[in-house]
Amino acid sequence: MNGGEALVETLVRHGVDTAFAVPGESSLAVIEALRARQDRIRLVVTRHESGASFAADAYARLTHRPGIAFVTRGPGATNAAIGIHTARQDSNPLVLFIGQVPTNELGREAFQEIDYHQMFGAMTKGVFQALSPSEVAPLTGRALALAVDGRPGPVVVALPEDATEGDAAPPAIPAPTPRPSHEPDGEAIAKAAALIEQARHPVMIVGEMINFEEAHGALNDFLEATGAGLVSTFRRQGIVATRHPAYLGHFGLALLPYQKEFWAEVDLVVAAGSRLDGATTMDFTLIRRDQALIHIFPERAVVAVNYPEVGLDADLGPALAALNAAFKSPPPAARLAWRDKQHERYTAWAAPDGAKAHGAVNLAAVTRAMGEALPADATLVNDAGNFASWLHRYYPFADWRAQVGPAVGAMGYGIPGALGAQLARPDKIVVAVTGDGGFLMTGHEMVTAVEQNLPITAVVCDNGAYGTIAMHQVRRYGADSRYAVDLKSPDFAAAARAWGAAAWSVTETAAFAPAFAAALSHDGPSLVHVKIDRRDMSAFDLKAEE
């Protein structure tokens, strides 16, 4: 058995059944081993390494198992780096295997050589490099375990050619190990419970670790026991259904008017499963000194940097269960009444009725049509861009798997993310919603969907611009400042048909619902090209131009 075969056997033993790749010369032995085990591992070949790493990230986000990607050395690794950065900031487990020059060429700037420890060290939980065939299997096992331990994240494994092609003689294939449980400290639980009982208007900021652990039952019990309000972190909507009485919207990039008002009254913040990232906290300015902070997150460094009143370096399920056991009385009526009032304000803000548009396509109505057409357990994969604000405001997220979007804001995520989501949830509807800018980066992965017969539906919101940047230019420098943001969009529907997908074009609101219904009913990949007015930049009333 050579090193490549040892790697694949380790993946099989650890239950890996799906991987994404762009093959290269430095990983021929691994590709051959995957060919021999295609009965156990489905290998999806994307058209670009960013597609492989984005798809692996989305797959990991929904399965809570390491997403697996294989790329070649040098240019392949640099192309895949965007998915590694996304997995890091979004806390998703991913293992990237990279071909490497032979060990006797290391350190000489050989053809396409990169020092992956330097390149990926700050972006990952760990970087391993096998220096012999016998090291490949144990390093693979370590990488899979590290990716899910504590705060999940990406791990890189570099594989020199001779390490995968040489004799592993015979390797001991490591067995999978359960993810260690991170239990809460009892004294910290007692202190946190006391703070919650004393608070007038406690609000939770709930993030990715709730989803990773599937701790939604404990979360709902906490909301019932405490009467706290809940805000989801940036692009983590669906952690509780938007109709849940505790739901007060989601935080991302800027507070909305009603959120500014209720946030001024919040005296206790319970950050549960969120690292309190910059997008969620308005560049770390959200939490005031007069607000007590309880922070629960399974990474000590993340908790420490936020200086909480009570810090719990713990998993969310055990921590919330311990807190729930501490509450013996129902929440105060005044607290519940305040929460109900804020939820009503959120509901009014999220109602699409009366939303106006400059152009012939009203994205509020389009979003409502998607919400009416899709079942509650469908998955929306939204790319980065201002178009996503219409989803954030108006889509009725009802399930924690309903939204898959890069909190890191990486453009080009939509279509390859939908590939990973569809493979993670093969019996569910997956819709990618993307702008024209993001689609022009990775939309060619629709070819991969056609080849793999993955029935994703893409909705391309085309305003002929890098809309988010245009909005910021106009807000900062005035209406005449637009520069380097206008795009010449092709006929996306024609392009999709050329790739083998079914496609429809929409130029007015009334045409969207029937086109979307036809796309969903198509047996295979489909695309709806929605042409929108570039003045309709955002659903958050941030005017780019009039």
Domain span at residue 324 reads: 186-349
Say what the pLDDT of residue 255 is.
87
Greater model confidence, 252 or 528: 528
CA distance 90 to 87: 5
Nearest to 263 by CA among 296, 294, 285: 285
Residue 330 sits in the same domain as residue 471: no
Amino acid at 34: L
Say what the pLDDT of residue 332 is.
94
Residue 221 sits in the same domain as residue 137: no
Confidence of residue 486 (pLDDT cuts 50, 70, 90): confident
Sheet holding 430-435, edge to edge: 403-404, 379-382, 430-435, 457-462, 526-531, 502-506
Residue with tokens 């060290």: 121
What integer is the mean pLDDT of 425-449?
A: 95
CA atoms within 13 A on the CB side of 302: 24
The residues with which 155 forms a beta bridge, in sequence order, are 95, 126
The residues with which 45 forms a beta bridge, in sequence order, are 21
273, 206 contact by CB (below 8 A):
yes
Residue 15 sits in the same domain as residue 155: yes
The residues with which 118 forms a beta bridge, in sequence order, are none
Instruction: Kindly tell me if the per-residue pLDDT of 197 is higher than 90.
Output: yes
Q: Which of 134, 165, 196 is the last residue of a domain?
A: 165
Confidence of residue 144 (pLDDT cuts 50, 70, 90): very high
CA distance 477 to 482: 9
**CATH number of residue 473's parent domain:** 3.40.50.970
Residue 375 sits in the same domain as residue 517: yes
The residues with which 503 forms a beta bridge, in sequence order, are 527
Number of structural domains in the chain = 3
Residue 429 sits in the same domain as residue 509: yes
259, 203 contact by CB (below 8 A):
no
Confidence of residue 259 (pLDDT cuts 50, 70, 90): very high
Kindly give the residue spans of alpha helices, DSSP state H, lying in 24-99: 28-36, 49-63, 75-90
User: Do the domain assignments include residue 154?
Assistant: yes
Q: Which of 316, 349, 382 is the last residue of a domain?
A: 349
Residue 341 sits in the same domain as residue 370: no
CA distance 454 to 464: 28
User: Do the domain assignments include residue 181?
Assistant: no
User: Do the domain assignments include residue 484?
Assistant: yes
Three-point CA angle 504, 538, 440, nearest 5°? 45
Q: What percent of the chain has pLDDT over 70?
A: 98
Residue with tokens 């695309």: 527
Q: What is the pLDDT of residues 352-390, one digit of tens each?
A: 887 788 889 899 899 999 999 999 999 999 998 888 888
Say what the pLDDT of residue 387 is.
85
Element holding 468 (H helix, E strand): helix 467-477
Residue 123 sits in the same domain as residue 208: no
Say what the pLDDT of residue 542 is.
40
CA distance 528 to 530: 6
User: Do the domain assignments include residue 178?
Assistant: no
CA distance 98 to 71: 5
Q: What percent of the chain has pLDDT over 90?
A: 79
Residue 31 sits in the same domain as residue 106: yes
Backbone angles phi, psi at 118, to 5 degrees: -70, -40
Say what the pLDDT of residue 543 is.
39
Average pLDDT along the chain: 92
Instruction: Kindly tell me if the per-residue pLDDT of 527 is higher than 60.
Output: yes
User: Do the domain assignments include residue 514?
Assistant: yes
- CB within 8 A of 196, min separation 6: which ones? 202, 226, 228, 268, 270, 294, 323, 327
Confidence of residue 464 (pLDDT cuts 50, 70, 90): confident
Q: In 3-state terms, what secondary structure has residue 148?
A: helix
- CB within 8 A of 391, min separation 6: which ones? 367, 380, 382, 403, 433
Say what the pLDDT of residue 539 is.
62
Distances (CA, A) of 244 to 7, 227, 229, 263: 45, 12, 10, 19
Confidence of residue 254 (pLDDT cuts 50, 70, 90): confident
Written as six digits, the tokens of 443 are 């939309």
Written as six digits, the tokens of 95 are 């293992």
Query: How many C-beta atoms lie closer than 10 Å to residue 221's C-beta?
Result: 17
**CATH number of residue 233's parent domain:** 3.40.50.1220
User: Do the domain assignments include residue 175?
Assistant: no
Residue 425 sits in the same domain as residue 309: no
What integer is the mean pLDDT of 410-420?
A: 95
Instruction: Kindly tell me if the per-residue pLDDT of 530 is higher than 60.
Output: yes
Residue 420 sits in the same domain as residue 507: yes
Instruction: Kindly tell me if the per-residue pLDDT of 538 is higher than 90.
Output: no
CA distance 264 to 247: 17
Written as six digits, the tokens of 89 are 């900031």
520, 373 contact by CB (below 8 A):
yes
Rg (CA), the chain: 24
3-state secondary structure 514-544: HHHHHHHHCCCCEEEEEECCCCCCCCCCCCC
Q: What is the pLDDT of residues 20-60, one digit of tens each?
A: 999 998 889 999 999 999 999 999 999 999 999 999 999 99
DSSP-assigned letters across all residues of 250-290: E--SS--HHHHHHHTT--EEEEES----TTTTTTTTSS-TT
Residue 191 sits in the same domain as residue 157: no
Instruction: Kindly tell me if the per-residue pLDDT of 465 is higher than 80.
Output: no
User: Do the domain assignments include residue 495?
Assistant: yes
CA distance 300 to 293: 15
Query: Which long-range contacts link 47-50 to residues 24+ away (Cβ below 8 Å)?
Result: 47/22, 47/444, 47/445, 47/447, 47/448, 48/22, 48/79, 48/442, 48/444, 48/445, 49/22, 49/76, 49/77, 49/79, 49/80, 50/79, 50/80, 50/82, 50/83, 50/412, 50/416, 50/441, 50/442
Q: In 3-state terms, what secondary structure has residue 453?
A: coil
Q: Which of 165, 196, 214 is the last residue of a domain?
A: 165
Backbone angles phi, psi at 446, to 5 degrees: -60, -30
Instruction: Kindly tell me if the per-residue pLDDT of 399 is higher than 70.
Output: yes
Residue 373 sits in the same domain as residue 519: yes
User: Do the domain assignments include residue 544?
Assistant: no
Written as six digits, the tokens of 104 are 């006797």
